[in-house]
Amino acid sequence: MHKKFLFVLRKPPFNGVSMQETLDSVLTIAAFDQAVSLLLLDDGVFQLKNGQQPERFGMKDTSAVFGALEIYDIHDIRAEVESLQERGLKPGDLCLPVREIYRKELAAYMKQFDVILAG
């Protein structure tokens, strides 16, 4: 059965190994032909910020994994407008194209998914 999965990313990058595990889950689910979308909220918008240097923190660079999302047919990546603005970011500051979504639209957007996972 084909299901729609939404991964909600709220944590900043380099916050332990949890992001790597989340990305592994994203790619695994997508590999089984399930529809996967990503939603960046709060400090999660920093996950895609250009110019990060994870090796300074002794962390693995996850930007290559984010770059592979397209290969796995993951094209629906959204960033909350207010989260970007509150952190002084614009979509052009991110390493992947994202669709902007306003906070007031989140509830309606999330209703279209069968499974919602926090990452």
pLDDT in tens, 63-83: 677 888 989 999 999 999 999
The pLDDT value recorded for residue 17 is 63
Q: Distance between CA 85 and CA 94 in Å, rounded?
A: 13
pTM of the shown model = 0.89
Helix, strand, coil share of the chain (percent; to 5): 40, 20, 35
Q: Is residue 42's pLDDT more than 70?
A: yes
CATH number of residue 112's parent domain: 3.40.1260.10
The range of the structural domain enclosing residue 48 comes to 4-118
The pLDDT value recorded for residue 20 is 79
Q: Can you tell me the mean pLDDT for 26-54?
A: 89
* Chain mean pLDDT for the chain: 88
The pLDDT value recorded for residue 21 is 86
Question: Which residues fall within 8 angstroms of residue 98, CB to CB, at 6 or more apart?
Answer: 40, 48, 77, 78, 79, 91
Number of domains in the chain: 1
